[in-house]
Amino acid sequence: MKAADLDAMPGIRPSLRELVALRPLARQRSDVRRARTGVRALAPSPQRGQGMEYAESRDYVAGDDARYIDWRVTARTGRPHTKTFQRERERLTLIVADTAAALYFGTRVRFKSTQAARAGAIAAWSAAAGGDRIAALRGATREAPVAPGSGLHGALRVLHALAQWYATPPADDAGLGVAMDHARRLLRPGARFVVLADAASVAAVPARHWAAVGAHCDGLVLLLDDPVERVPPRARLGFAHAGGRIDLDLSAGAQRARWRDTFEGPRDAAVQHLRRAGIGVESLSSDAASDAWLPAFARGRK
């Protein structure tokens, strides 16, 4: 099948136009969230200075603003002290794309890979609407991540990458473990990350790596699946391939048990794996609304 044929088949290969069109979904939810909180998404900076969040009190030195004298500590110690505050900066939202071959498949509405691209686009638009900087990466040893950017420009760069990554299985996919190694080097305390992944890919990443990023960042992993993986047909399931057709008989209990072990087992293991590391996890079926997971993203650690 030619690339032009794939472009003409919605659901199989995501287009940049399709991902751009998802912007209103994320904007509506972000507008509601900002209306409730009344604040822009900010993360604490390691630098000390004047800002919104109290950090510590230290000895007063000549030139300090007298408005920030800490009178309680001054009275207790007998020496003048001044308050310092945590500076705030724009929060980073990092989108981590699993490009395992198992994602380029689907039986309802769209491929899991297309659903991953759509979910990543909604995450990017939501982050941009909230004032975050947005970056993206995948498991590739010779490909640089999409550098953090703000607003429309930052979101569009991420969308362009998602449309490319999820068009066809990349030949240079090095696995989700490599992607999370890259992510650990980029993420700083207060950042957020969204991982678009197959359940088997999640289980292959060591638990300590998940715990390392989950300890100081808000993380959400979206497990992409397909309805037939959850509920297989009770008779025969046909597969076409270059040499003809294969019919898989699923009427026997033993065969259905093997099916569950193949698909439900890794998903259950991934959920337990992530929850122990303190990372949020949601399942997203290929036939579900692409923004169904967004409330969990907005809640974060809350």
- pLDDT tens-digit readout, 220-264: 999 999 998 888 877 777 777 777 888 878 878 888 888 888 888
Q: Where are the domains of the chain?
A: 3-37+91-299, 44-89
Pairing of strands 92-97, 192-197: parallel
Q: What is the mean pLDDT of the chain?
A: 84
- CB 207, CB 273: distance < 8 Å: yes
Beta-sheet strands, E only, within 160-268: 192-197, 218-225, 236-241, 244-249
192 three-state secondary structure: strand
Instruction: Give the model's pLDDT for residue 47.
Output: 42
Q: Give the confidence band of 61 by pLDDT, cuts at 50, 70, 90.
A: confident
For the residues 273-295, what does the mean pLDDT come to?
Answer: 92
Q: Give the confidence band of 210 by pLDDT, cuts at 50, 70, 90.
A: very high
What angle do helix axes 112-129 and 151-165 make, rounded to 10 degrees? 170
Does 3-37+91-299 carry CATH code 3.40.50.300?
Answer: no
